[in-house]
Amino acid sequence: MPSDTNKPTFIEPQKKQAKLEKAKLKAYNGESDDIEFMFNPTELSFTRTVKWESKQGNRGSELLPKVNFSGVDPYKFTLKQLLFDTYETKKSVMEEHINKIKKGVETIQGGRDKRPPVYILSWKDEYFHCVITSLTYTLNMFLTDGTPVRAMVDISLQEVDKNNLPGGRASSSTGSHRTSSTQARSLPNTPPNTARPRR
């Protein structure tokens, strides 16, 4: 009988493992440090409120007050229980991660606008331009010398208009229009127009 030892061996090709995409808050225009999450959030929950104003004196056929649309609030969302852990490296979790996050609730150093930075929430797709409205972090593991090596973080964020970011100079009150008129008014030694109209 023929031997099976000469049969070609089929080697199953290894499946390429997909690269883990990390969620992050990218600082807009490099105005602060990016905040890259050590572990991705388990869920993203977004809330938006629509404003309706009711007029009590104006009622329809169902005797309900007439309502008028008055605008929408920006989306709000919270990233809860984000874990940051540096136990294996024995480095301070404050220095490695938390201090970067704290910059999101502090004014930009050296910036013209005294405000906290704007971020872009990104997790493969870009979701919103946003600002941090609330930050809570809890240090819950320490080395024997007191170095904090684990933290749980909650970050509340609010959407901002990417075409009208905080501190923008696009309004008509400070735009090029106003600059020209201001310069015209401040020209030195401009004689008044004393010519009289012809009769």
- Show pLDDT as tens, one digit a residue, over the chain (199 residues): 555 566 666 666 666 666 778 889 999 989 999 999 998 888 888 999 999 988 777 666 677 788 889 999 999 999 999 999 999 999 999 999 999 999 999 998 766 668 999 999 998 888 899 999 999 999 999 999 999 999 999 999 999 999 988 876 443 333 333 333 334 333 344 444 444 545 4
CA–CA dist 92, 90 (Å, integer): 7
Check: pTM over 0.75? Answer yes or no: no
In a domain, 12, yes or no: no
72: tokens are: 């929408």
- At residue 160, the 3 state secondary structure works out as coil
CA–CA dist 105, 115 (Å, integer): 9
CA–CA dist 60, 190 (Å, integer): 63
On the CB side of 14, how many CA atoms lie within 13 Å of its CA? 3
CB 87, CB 140: distance < 8 Å: no
Q: How many domains is the chain partitioned into structurally?
A: 1
In a domain, 170, yes or no: no
In a domain, 38, yes or no: yes
Domain of residue 152, residue span: 21-43+76-162
* Residue keyed to tokens 């997909």: 18
